[in-house]
Amino acid sequence: MFDLTLDEENIDDPIIQDILCDYLDHGDQIVICQICHAKLWKAESIRGQKKGNTSYSLCCGYGKVELPSLKEASPSYRNLYRSVDSKSKQFMKNIRRYNSMFSFTSMGGKVDLSINRGNAPYIFRLGGQNYHMDERPLLHQLQDHMISRL
C-alpha cells in the first residue's frame, strides 16, 4: 500500500537537496530522578535541579506529582525494536516514515469544554483515551463521489 523505499539519493529539488537527513543526538538519558526514577538528559537535569537534590521539576515536580508506571509493550511490538530479523530491520530503517504517517490523521477524544470561560488564553484539554482517526479512506470515497457528480 505504501512505498517505503528510501529515495534520499534521488532528490532533484534544489530546495530539499542540501537539507541534512541526520538527526541531533543528545546522547543517552543518564540522570535518574531518585523519586520517580524518570530518565533525564544531563542538560535537563541541570535546569531542573534544586539545591543539590537528585529530584527534578521536569519529571515529578520534586516529588509533588506521582507518575503512573509505564505499561509493558506487547511481545510483537518489543520484537520490532529488539530483534535482528529482516522485518525489524525494515521497521527501524523506516521508523520516521511510519511516525509521519500520523500527520494525516485527526486526533480524537473527549474535549473538556468547561475549562474556557473567556477571561484567559484558550486551553485545549482532552480527557480519557485519545486516539487517531485515519481519514484517507473517507477522502477516497469523497473523491470518487465528486468525480461521479462531474
Long-range contacts of 141-145 (CB under 8 A, 24+ apart): none
Which region holds residue 27: left if phi is over 0, alpha if psi is between -120 and 50, else beta? Answer: left
List pLDDT tens digits, range 67-103: 778 889 899 989 988 899 999 999 888 888 887 776 6
Mean pLDDT, the chain, rounded, equals 72
- State how far the alpha carbon of 13 is from the alpha carbons of 19, 27, 32, 59, 82, in Å: 11, 32, 44, 42, 36
pLDDT in tens, the chain (150 residues): 445 455 555 555 555 455 555 666 778 888 888 888 888 888 777 765 666 667 778 888 888 888 778 889 899 989 988 899 999 999 888 888 887 776 666 666 666 778 777 777 777 777 766 666 665 555 555 555 444 433
**Predicted model pTM:** 0.38
Which region holds residue 109: left if phi is over 0, alpha if psi is between -120 and 50, else beta? Answer: left
For residue 17, the model assigns a pLDDT of 53
Which region holds residue 52: left if phi is over 0, alpha if psi is between -120 and 50, else beta? Answer: left
For residue 145, the model assigns a pLDDT of 46
